[in-house]
A = this chain, B = another copy of it.
Amino acid sequence: MAPTSETLTAERILEATEEVLRRHGPAKATVVDVARALGVSHGSVYRHFRTKAALREAVTKRWLDRTSGELSGIVAGGSAPEVRLRDWLAALFAAKRRKAGDDPELFATYMVLTDEAGTAVGEHITDLTTQLARIIEAGVESGSFTATDPEASARAVFQATGRFHDPCYAREWEQPGVEGEFEAVVELVVRGLHV
């Protein structure tokens, strides 16, 4: 059943956009395609997203936010900061691997979109490194980590572990031995933060 204009929320449009992207790839997913998939006029879509670029940026942001949303629970958790740091890095790797492995075509599509969407990606990286900085701060407070500038340390940890979350390495994530490599890099990084 096509939704009526009353139920046409931004979220509903973004869901349909992802579905159009999943089926037709990044070249499609214009406002007109999405309106057709929803059975509404393109005017109703434009009321929520004024341009195709805004729609594509929003659907990319939603996709990226799903990962940061999953991880935020670990930041707020009650375990020791070092445990939280290890859990957070493992959860980030698992989330990215799942995205790349479960639906490789949608992942490839989002790679095209993230290449276009400079702002969404920059904000996503800031979200993630801010979460990391909170964990590092907690470790400094509890006396287990040392960091004169937790934001800078968070960026260094994020970059040092890039092989296990940056999409440019997606092909490596299914190679044998990748788990051991991940453990070795996490060990090095955690030791690097220790007092």
- Using a CB–CB cutoff of 8 Å, the interface residues on chain A facing chain B are 152-153, 155-157, 159-163, 166, 168-169, 180-181, 184-185, 187-194
Cα A6 to Cα B189 with chains together (Å): 55
Q: Give which listed residue, B159, B168, B169, B184, contacts A181 with CB less than 8 A.
A: B159
Q: A152-B180, A159-B185 are in contact. List 5 more A-B contacts (CB 8 A).
A: A156-B185, A160-B188, A162-B163, A191-B191, A191-B192
Q: What separation, in Å, do the CA atoms of A180 and B187 have in the docked complex?
A: 23
- By a CB distance below 8 angstroms, the chain B residues around A189 are 160, 188-189, 192
Copies of this chain, whole number: 2
Most B CB atoms within 10 A — which of A152, A189, A191, A192?
A192
Interface of A is mostly: helix
Shortest beta-carbon contacts, A-B, top 10: A192-B192, A156-B184, A188-B192, A168-B168, A160-B160, A191-B192, A156-B188, A159-B163, A156-B185, A160-B185
A54 to B193, alpha carbons, bound, how many Å? 46
- A111 → chain B, closest Cβ, in Å? 12
User: Which B residues touch A166, using CB under 8 A?
Assistant: 168
- Asked whether, in the complex, the Cβ of A181 is within 8 Å of the Cβ of B162, the reply is no
- CB nearest neighbor in B for A168: B168
With a CB–CB cut-off of 8 A, which chain B residues contact A181?
155-156, 159
